[in-house]
Amino acid sequence: MSNFKFIPTDVDGVIIVEPKKFGDERGYFMEVYHESDFYAGGIQTQFVQDNQSSSLRGVLRGLHFQRQFPQAKLVRVLKGAVWDVAVDIRKNSPTYGKWVGVELSADNLKQLFIPRGLAHGFLTISDVAEFAYKCDEFYHPEDEGGLAWDDSDLAIAWPLEAAGILGETLPILSAKDCRNPRLREL
């Protein structure tokens, strides 16, 4: 029996992963990845690199993708909470231009699997969030592309208020992410 629940989403190939948590008065234990369980759950990916970041409330990272060396990712939050988004930018996909968003947190322990060919980003909705992700391809900085977080054609429902962003205030973005094009411009 698997220690994971695999939940398909409305975007082709994007899967929410809910690990089983075993706890007692000392704390808890859980598996975060088990190759044969993931293969049986439809995630047949061999990961080659792990990354981790820390972000303050209101930071929006993304939406990022790799052009020639696309990466599948398994993402989760170690501390705090984020609103995580994957956008299908695969031209021949039945869900091209669609997005899925899910809250990932240290409390709910959910993970999100994002297949190759999608743009990915997240908004920090806690004071601080520590974010970890496994990738099936090495990162190539010269190959990175981006998609505008506020593309009106996508109409992503970012929980800006939960991130402390009110009125005309914008999320905290990198200079690079401020210049990302819209999907129709890619």
Q: Return the active site residues.
A: 64, 133
- Closest residue by Cα to residue 179 from 150, 152, 158, 159: 150
**Is residue 11 within 8 Å of residue 118, measured between CB atoms?**
yes
